């Protein structure tokens, strides 16, 4: 079942001298249980595509559909609710709230969902344990390393149990062993709960985990390679 798709999507930035195409005629779909990776150099349009898929930004032409509903027809508030309830976002820049502790940053989206206290506490503790940060629950972001901040961002995206995870370089600030643990966690959620994962990454070693790998270059998206047996990566 297709849960999110892009149809003929373009993103154009106008300057005084010319129009700059960040994305060109993107056709892309995400199904329940997908684990997809997008490779591409800096400036190729990877982050722009994630912003459009999540409804953070809007395409210049074309449309993004959640099920049968075009995101472009929804209000800003309605798109915010979709991100809150259905999409887990992992930002390359972390986007942690500096005055909140690790636990409070992870708990925050559950507060927006009006999840009860006991359930919030259980989920926060569980997901922080999964990413190896349960002992740092009371620290502020300023007291964390870059890798620890990245793991908090991952935990916050997972705690709401979203239908889709959109991840922008989720292992970029992690050492290889920690990065592998994070990918395995995403794979386990993907396999157990059919959470769809779309990840953009420079790290080509992650391609082995994907069902499909895409290449984006100069705003053009193409299928690069496929891996059929994702379960083998969990061994």
Q: What is the CATH number of the domain that holds 179?
A: 3.40.50.300
Cα 44 to Cα 67, 72, 93, 130: the distances in Å are: 27, 23, 18, 32
Residue 45 forms part of a structural domain: yes
Give the pLDDT score at 37: 95
How large is the average pLDDT for residues 158-175? 90
Structural domain contains residue 52: yes
Give me the pLDDT at residue 235, please. Answer: 46
| 67 assigned to some structural domain | no
The pLDDT score that the predictor gives to residue 16 is 80
Chain segment 6-61, per-residue pLDDT in tens: 999 999 998 888 899 999 999 999 999 999 999 988 889 999 999 999 999 999 99
Determine which helix (DSSP H) or strand (DSSP E) holds 35, and give its type and residue range.
strand 35-39
Residues 6+ away with beta carbon under 8 Å from 225: 207, 212, 213
Assess if residue 199 is contained within a domain: yes
The answer to whether position 20 is within a domain reads no
Higher-confidence residue of 201 and 62: namely 62
Query: DSSP alpha helices (H): ranges in the chain?
Result: 46-54, 76-86, 102-112, 117-130, 146-158, 176-193
Higher pLDDT, 24 or 91: 24
Rounded to 5 degrees, what are φ and ψ at 50? Answer: -60, -40
Q: What is the total count of domains within the chain?
A: 1
In a domain, 3, yes or no: no
- Residue 217: which residues within 8 A CB-CB, separation 6 or more? 40, 41, 44
Q: Could you tell me the residue range of the domain that residue 41 belongs to?
A: 30-59+73-234
Average model confidence (pLDDT) for the chain? 90
Residue 53, in any domain of the structure:
yes
Dist. CA 139–CA 119, nearest whole Å = 21
Which ranges in 67-201 belong to alpha helices (H)? 76-86, 102-112, 117-130, 146-158, 176-193
Structure tokens at 23: 């994305």
In a domain, 93, yes or no: yes
Overall pTM > 0.75: yes
């Amino acid at each position: 079942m297709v849960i999110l798709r892009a149809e003929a999507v373009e993103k154009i930035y106008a300057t005084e001298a010319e129009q700059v195409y960040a994305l060109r005629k993107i056709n892309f779909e995400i199904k329940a249980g997908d684990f997809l990776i997008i490779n591409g150099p800096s400036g190729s349009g990877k982050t722009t595509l994630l912003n459009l898929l999540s409804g953070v930004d809007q395409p210049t032409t074309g449309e993004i559909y959640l099920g049968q509903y075009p995101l472009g027809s929804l209000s800003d508030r309605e798109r915010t609710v979709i991100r809150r309830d259905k999409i887990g976002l992992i930002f390359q820049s972390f986007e942690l709230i500096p005055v909140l502790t690790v636990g409070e940053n992870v708990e925050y989206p559950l507060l927006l969902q009006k999840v009860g206290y006991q359930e919030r506490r259980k989920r926060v503790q569980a997901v922080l344990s999964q990413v190896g940060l349960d002992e740092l629950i009371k620290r502020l972001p300023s007291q964390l390393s870059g890798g620890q901040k990245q793991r908090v961002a991952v935990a916050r995206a997972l705690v709401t149990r979203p239908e889709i995870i959109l991840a922008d370089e989720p292992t970029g600030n992690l050492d290889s062993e920690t990065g592998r643990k994070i990918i395995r966690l995403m794979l386990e959620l993907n396999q157990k709960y059919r959470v769809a994962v779309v990840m953009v990454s420079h790290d080509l070693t992650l391609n082995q985990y994907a069902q499909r790998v895409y290449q984006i270059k100069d705003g053009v998206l193409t299928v690069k390679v496929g891996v059929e047996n994702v379960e083998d990566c969990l061994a």
